[in-house]
Amino acid sequence: MTTNRLRSLFGRPGRHALALWLGFVVAALLVACGGGVGTGGTGSYGAAPIDGFGSIFVGGIEFDTARAAVLDDDGLPRDDGGLRLGMTVEVEGGAVVDGAAAASGVRIARAVVGPVAASDVGARSLRVLGQTVQVNGSTVFDPSLHGGLAALRAGDVVAVSALADADGHLLATRIDAAAAGEPWRLRGSVAGLDAAARRFRIGEATLDYAGAAQVPAGLADGQRVSLKLSGGSVAGAFAVAAFGPLSQPPAGAADAQVEGLVTGAASSGRFSVGGIDVDASQASIEPSAAALVAGAQAQIAGRMQNGTLNATRVTLLTPQQAERRVYRLAGAVESVDAAAASLIVRHTSVDFSGARFVNGSAAALAAGVMLRVQGTLSADGTQLRATQIEFR
């Protein structure tokens, strides 16, 4: 699919369609051996949840993934059919031209995979591997988890894509039932490192890395790590089986867009998001600089230089905006259930009972018909409630 074809799928997003900005963005990836891949100053960089397919939609940019390598948490090849709405990913791509770019690589970057210790529907949260996972109205749940958060029980093993702060608090963007036999995983920032005892913390989890493979040289507090756990414990700590690869921002200048939770906000406009240092001292900040506080959900556009994101625009989402993420799909109808007013596009269940139709009607829906769909999530997060369906 060409970038011109991609641009024709939805057109360019409106300036005020803030939820459409919440996509996965062009990013630098690690190659399978764990090295970094930069863009040489001519590409672009970012990281965020997937908010659309058509090929894929990243921060309001359309990315052609026809030639992209999709990698899993271990840096191993994976079919792009495994990508889903809400997954947090990192993408390497070329220069953005007229709102479109060609992706060369996509890495899936889940925050935690492990058993649910506790779930609190009232508080809209769960605990997984010592991490507090918050859900909201934009958290996508796999359709197998009918009922969303209410479907989860202690002991269920889940895979969570999320935005994270430095204290182990996660805002889930997607929750799936983990595949059978999938190893436990955890991403986060090292705290309380005891090199002699070979232990550290991520959130409220204590990790023992005495028997771990690929331990980074110079491991230190504040360093972000990706861990594969053995599933066992050592004197009350989770046992680390191996340290995995992590993406790095490009070394040279590159256009960047990222989304995440603000950490260490300062009056000077210096803070971090997802382990990336941000200088927003020259940026326009919406709705105001007063909203730039630790824990705020931020969308940032700018330029990466020498490891710092020099922001030109920072958009801070209100709780209402964060709850109402708009998702987009473009592709062929896989199946239709007229009685239930639902269909499947891009492996996603769509409720079309309240949709406005363009260039067609519900009677014309059938397998193979090309559509573009936009909408928000159902109450349990397992279905997209279409607000508009356009026939292509």
- Residue where a domain stops, chosen among 297, 321, 345: 321
- Residue where a domain stops, chosen among 121, 142, 177: 177
Q: Say what the pLDDT of residue 255 is.
A: 78
270 in the same domain as 283: yes
342 in the same domain as 309: no
Q: Tell me how many domains the chain contains.
A: 4
Q: pLDDT digits over 4-63, tens only?
A: 332 332 333 333 333 333 333 333 332 223 333 333 445 776 678 888 887 766 666 677
- Could you give the C-alpha distances from 286 to 112, 278, 323, in angstroms and in order? 31, 16, 18
Nearest residue to 205 (alpha-carbon basis) of 272, 130, 258, 142: 130
99 in the same domain as 9: yes
User: What is the average per-residue pLDDT within 162-182?
Assistant: 90
- Residue where a domain stops, chosen among 274, 296, 321: 321
Q: Say what the pLDDT of residue 343 is.
A: 98
Domain span holding position 277: 3-109+248-321
The Cα diameter of the chain in Å comes to: 68
User: What is the average per-residue pLDDT within 136-151?
Assistant: 95
Q: Say what the pLDDT of residue 232 is.
A: 82
Q: Considering the entire predicted model, what is its pTM?
A: 0.85
Q: What DSSP string describes 198-236?
A: TEEEETTEEEE-TT-BSPPTT--TT-EEEEEEEEEEETT
Residues 6+ apart with CB under 8 A from 11: none
Residue 348's beta-bridge partner residues? 345
362 in the same domain as 290: no
Q: Is the pLDDT of residue 303 over 60?
A: yes
What is the rounded distance in angstroms from the CA atom of residue 224 to the CA atom of residue 321?
Answer: 28
What is the rounded distance in angstroms from the CA atom of residue 5 to the CA atom of residue 2?
Answer: 5
370 in the same domain as 333: yes
More confident residue, 358 or 97: 358
User: What is the average per-residue pLDDT within 98-116?
Assistant: 86
Q: pLDDT digits over 255-273, tens only?
A: 778 899 998 877 778 999 8
For the chain, the average pLDDT equals: 84
89 in the same domain as 12: yes
262 in the same domain as 297: yes
341 in the same domain as 316: no
What is the rounded distance in angstroms from the CA atom of residue 37 to the CA atom of residue 237?
Answer: 33
235 in the same domain as 261: no
234 in the same domain as 258: no
72 in the same domain as 121: no
CB contact at 8 A, 146 and 187: no
The strand ranges marked E within 14-81 are 44-49, 52-53, 56-58, 61-64, 69-71
**Band (251; pLDDT cuts 50, 70, 90):** low
Task: Give the residue carrying structure tokens 């997802």.
Answer: 274
Task: Give the residue carrying structure tokens 């955890």.
Answer: 186
Q: pLDDT digits over 325-349, tens only?
A: 899 998 999 999 999 999 999 999 9
| Pairing verdict, β 284-286 and 254-263 | unpaired
386 in the same domain as 335: yes
